[in-house]
Amino acid sequence: MSLEFLIASAIAVLTAAGVYLSLRGRTFQVVLGLTLLSHAVNLFLFATGRLVVDRPPLFATGVTDHADPLPQALVLTAIVIAFGMTALAVILSLRSFLESGSDQVDGLANPDRGEGEQ
Amino acid sequence: MTLADQLIIAPVVIPAVVAPLTLLAMPRRRGLAVGLSLAGCVAMLAAAVALFGLVQDNAIRSYALGGWPAPFGIVLVLDRLSAAMLVLSSALAVVVLLHATLTAADRKGWHFHPLFHFQLLGLNGAFLTGDLFNLFVFFEVLLIASYGLMLHGHGAARLKAAVGYVVVNIVGSALFLIALGVLYGVTGTLNMADLARRIALSGAADEGMLRIAGVLLMTVFALKAAIVPLHLWLPRTYVATMPVVAALFAILTKVGVYAMIRIVPLLFGEDAGALAWMPSPWLFPAAVMTAVIGFAGVFVAQAMREQAAFALVGSTGTLVLAVSCWSQATMAAALFYLVHATLAGAALFLVADVTMRRRGRYDDAAVPSPRFSGQQATGLLFLASSIAAVGLPPLSGFIGKLFILQTTAPTSNWIILWAVVLGTTLIGGIGFARTGSILFWKASPIGADPVDSPNRSNADLIAPMILIGLLAALTIGAGWATAQAQATAAQIFAPQRYIDAVLGSLLR
């Protein structure tokens, strides 16, 4: 199996799981989904520099082929931003849960608990 | 490099310096912090006006950050479009900040002023940058600041709306990154001018991938601009937040439209071969739906803020109708309407704020209430701002819509476009008339006790009056503004000049 196939299928599985979880009703699952989605995006960005093995990142004497260093810089930025965003989403979900007593994304009461028990 | 060239980075540096200073000054000396914040905003407006004066010679200026030449380093690019957007955003910011200070809305939390300036930093950066990844970063800066501003003042309803707003935007950012990854994978660059050059040179083999990247980018920009069917987050968010913050957010949807105007003629313009004007087949129907749903929302809204939020969606729809024709004449009309729609949307939210502050427990709901203080003045302001938002004479909305109708007459879709613009004007007008008559005319049964509102000062009328004044100035100076819009559109539709300005030294 080639490296490309492995990476591509990993991105595919992460994205599928991320999309599925993001569409769920509870904030906990949505936050997990967003995390998986950002992982998938980071892997994808990393792969845009092409998958090569044993190449110097910038410059080495006597070598003509180099790995592309730019996607790694892009991924670093994306990781930092996604990390901050996820932290914010966690805090918001927690506050929303504590203030409304429900962890539904739309803030309605949990359907399995019934309306009256709020 | 002269001092005038260094001025290009001032709209990014000024808020970046002012934000931490206000954060430091706030706990000890609130007066100093507020003064710094206002002074920073005015300085930014002055810098933006100076830049606007600079671009009058029709040159496109590129500013290489850190002296790294494009396409290796990040560049800021100043042309007529970015200068006009800078003036618009900083003028709006000054008015909104003035209103927040006068009404003490900034005292409901500690961090209003720093967040406000970070918001402006993101906005100005997005308008100036010439690099697609840098555009993503500035989008994130303005989004993070907008989350904070949106939550300013707290409240359970605001928290619930914020969760949805944040989740939607995180997914949008993921799509943006995937689009950037595809573009980088195919072309090997993220500098906009370099991308434009390489897309024009790319072969048929890359067409599919580039198309996917373009569609993803347009989806993200449509999400930011709240174009149907990606508009559902907007009314919920803007109703839940403080009206003064929502007034500033009136420019956030325009950032999405700005990005479309910037990217499409440059990357997917005439030179892009099979990819030329790639988004137009579906952008036009989406704009039709946006205008219709927006003004239908205005028609049925039960409260002033809800109505203002839907008016914002509707005006974006009207704007994108003109943009999606992708011709120089319609683009000029769209740019004129963009300036007008931003100011009118902000005016609606500020008037809603003034009304809410005076009506006590009746808030902004469209139900009859007893008399309240300043009822006539507020009613007149509502009349003026709704006339502007709908596009009736004498204010600039009328000229903007007339300009759109006139320039779209030769296009193939003109029947649908005229029907939508004229029909939405009618239902929007009826919606505003209904709300206005309930709020301001049915409100005073003779002899009834007035609403006991804590607000006794009339200082909150100043900022909405300034906005109405700006709209009136746009009406009186419509000839000049039209000439500016036409010159800007001419520059947008000559992407080769943009490419030469950024990559000039490399290509020669």
Q: Over the stretch A35-76, which tens digit does the pLDDT of each residue have?
A: 999 999 999 998 988 888 877 777 777 777 778 888 888 999
Does the residue B428 lie in any domain? yes
Residues from chain A contacting residue B163 (CB–CB below 8 Å): 27, 89, 92-93, 96, 105, 107
Binning pLDDT at 50, 70 and 90, where does residue A115 land?
very low
CA of B169: which chain A residue's CA is closest? A85
Contact A99 B171 (CB under 8 A): no
> Which residues on A lie below 8 Å from B140 (Cβ)?
81, 85
Cis bond leading into B15, ω under 30°? Answer: no
Would you call B177 and A45 a contact, using CB atoms and an 8 Å cutoff? yes
Average model confidence (pLDDT) across chain B = 91
B-chain residues near A29 (CB < 8 A): none
Residues of B with Cβ-Cβ distance to A40 under 8 angstroms: 174
User: What CATH number did the domain enclosing A85 receive?
Assistant: 1.10.287
Q: Which pLDDT belongs to residue B160?
A: 84
Q: Domain count for chain A, please give it.
A: 1
| Residue of B139, B165, B177, B233 best to disrupt the A interface, most CBs of A under 10 A | B177
Q: Which chain A positions have a beta carbon within 8 Å of B137's beta carbon?
A: 77, 81
Q: Which two tokens stand for residue A25?
A: 């009703």
Query: A112 or B56, which is more confident?
Result: B56
Domain span including residue A20: 3-52+68-103
Residue A22 Cα, gap to closest chain B Cα (Å):
8
Q: Is A99 left (phi over 0), alpha (psi -120 to 50) or beta?
A: alpha
B170 touches chain A (CB under 8 A): yes
Residue B160 in contact with partner chain A when CB distance is under 8 A:
yes
Q: Is residue A76 part of a domain?
A: yes
Owner of token pair 């100093």: B32
Which range marks the domain in which residue B425 is found? 281-494
pLDDT digits (tens, 9 = 90+) for B375-395: 889 999 999 999 999 999 889
- Least CA distance to B140: which residue of chain A? A81
How far is CA B361 from its chain centroid?
Answer: 31
Q: Which residue of B has its CA nearest to A72?
A: B181
> If interface means Cβ-Cβ distance under 8 Å, which residues of chain A face chain B?
22, 27, 30, 34, 37-38, 40-41, 44-45, 47-48, 50, 70-71, 74, 77-78, 81-82, 84-86, 88-89, 92-93, 95-96, 99-100, 105-107
Per cent of chain A over pLDDT 70 is 88
pLDDT tens digits for range B435-470: 999 988 886 665 566 666 665 678 889 999 999 999
Domain tally, chain B: 1
Mind telling me how many Å the CA of A62 is from chain B's nearest CA? Answer: 24
Residue B64 lies in a domain: no
Residue B191 dihedral angles phi and psi, to the nearest 5°: -75, 130
pTM for the model stands at: 0.93
Candidates B159, B167, B178; nearest CB to A89: B167
pLDDT of residue A108: 63
- Do the Cβ atoms of A92 and B163 come closer than 8 Å? yes
Average pLDDT over every residue of B479-508: 89
ipTM for the predicted complex comes to 0.90
d(CA B405, CA B101): 40
Query: Please, what's the b/e burial string for B227-258 (b: 16 or more CB within 10 A of its CB; e: otherwise)?
Result: bbebbebbbbbbbbbbbbbbbbbbbbbbbbbb
- Tell me what percent of chain B is helix, strand and coil, each rounded to the nearest 5: 80, 5, 20
Residue A65 C-alpha, separation from nearest chain B C-alpha, in angstroms: 15
Whether omega for the bond prior to residue B69 falls within 30 degrees of 0, making it cis, is: no
Cβ–Cβ below 8 Å for B184 and A38 = no
Task: Specify which residues B63 forms β-bridges with.
Answer: B76
Interval B318-340 mean pLDDT: 94
Domain assignment present for A30: yes
Question: Sorting pLDDT into bands at 50, 70 and 90, what band is B508?
Answer: low
In a domain, A58, yes or no: no
In a domain, A60, yes or no: no
Facing A41 at nearest CB: one of B137, B147, B174: B174
Of B147, B163, B177, the CB nearest to A41: B177
Q: What is the pLDDT of residue B456?
A: 66
Q: B368: pLDDT confidence band, cut at 50, 70 and 90?
A: confident
CB distance A44–B181 less than 8 Å? yes
Find chain A residues with C-beta within 8 A of B180's C-beta: 45, 74
Mean pLDDT for the stretch of residues B193-215: 90
Q: How high is the pLDDT of residue A116?
A: 41
Cβ contact B137–A81 (<8 Å): yes
Q: What are the pLDDT digits (tens) for B54-71?
A: 999 999 999 998 888 888
- How many CB atoms within 10 Å of residue B305? 25
- Cis amide prior to B229 (ω within 30 degrees): yes
| CB contact (8 A) between residue B171 and residue A100 | no
- Note the pLDDT of residue A114: 45
Per the domain annotation, does A47 fall within a domain? yes
The better pLDDT of the pair B135, B357 is held by B135
Closest alpha carbon within chain B to A50: B185
Chain A within 8 Å of B210 (Cβ-Cβ)? no
A&B contacts, CB < 8 Å: 87
Burial state string for B150-182 with b = 16 or more CB within 10 A and e = fewer than 16:
bbbbeeeebbbbbbbbbbbbbbbbbbbbbbbbb
CB nearest to A100's CB, from B160, B178, B184: B160
User: B212 — contact with chain A (CB < 8 Å)?
Assistant: no
CA-nearest residue to A102 within chain B is B160
Q: Do B218 and A105 contact (CB within 8 A), yes or no?
A: no
The contacts of residue B499 (CB under 8 Å, 6+ apart) are B193, B196, B197, B507
Q: Residue B357 above 80 pLDDT?
A: yes
Is-contact B151 B162, C-beta < 8 A? Answer: yes
Radius of gyration of chain B (CA): 22
- B159/A92 Cβ within 8 A: yes
Residue B508 lies in a domain: no
Q: Does B180 touch chain A (CB under 8 A)?
A: yes
- Could you report the per-residue pLDDT of B135-186, keeping only the tens digit for each? 999 999 999 999 999 988 877 788 888 888 999 999 999 999 999 999 999 9
Q: Is B361 exposed, middle or buried (0-12, 13-18, 19+ CB in 10 A)?
A: exposed
- Per-residue model confidence (pLDDT) at position B156: 77
**Residue A117 within a domain:** no
Distance of alpha carbon A89 from alpha carbon B482, whole angstroms: 44
How many residues in total does chain A contain?
118
Contacts of B28-35 with CB under 8 Å at 24 or more apart are B30/B107, B33/B113, B34/B101, B34/B106, B34/B113
Give dist(CA B506, CA B4) in Å, integer: 23
Closest chain A C-alpha to B162 CA, distance in angstroms: 8
Q: Per the structure block, which two tokens stand in for A103?
A: 């962890």
Q: What percent of chain B has pLDDT over 90?
A: 73
